[in-house]
Amino acid sequence: MSSPEKAQQSFLQKAKTWGENPVPPAVLATLIFAQHARPFQTVPMIFPPLLLFSTYLNLQGYKIDSAGTTAALSGSYLVLAGRRRLGFMNKFGARGIIRGATMGLCLVNLVGGGLAYGFGSRSKEDEPKK
């Protein structure tokens, strides 16, 4: 196996492992809550409880379903947050940095969760539950 193939396989494996991890949706829920709690914004505040439910699913052993849920919610929030425009100077304040980190984490969750959901094996996931 050549070095580029090994590196590509390694990246795909790392992204899939990221998607199966229960921590990223919980961190994303925290960042979203921090941005939209004050002043309270109803539509974005729908995401934190759903992301925490995705973490709960993952901890109960449903890693593939959790990855798909996380990817879908991250993509939805990414579209929602991308519609909002900020001035140039607001991008470098505390809120702008948190918003950028949130959108970056959404993108990573979208890729990792999508790979984990797309390439996950249900037969391997169901074995420990029997």
Domain spans of the chain, in order of start: 3-129
Could you tell me where the DSSP H helices lie in the chain? 3-19, 23-36, 47-59, 63-83, 94-119, 122-126
- Measured between alpha carbons, how far is residue 94 from residues 39, 100, 122, 130 in Å? 15, 10, 42, 48
Per-residue pLDDT of the chain (130 residues; tens, 9 = 90+): 566 766 666 888 899 999 999 999 999 999 999 999 989 999 999 999 999 999 999 999 999 999 999 999 999 999 999 888 766 667 788 888 899 999 999 999 999 999 999 998 887 777 766 5
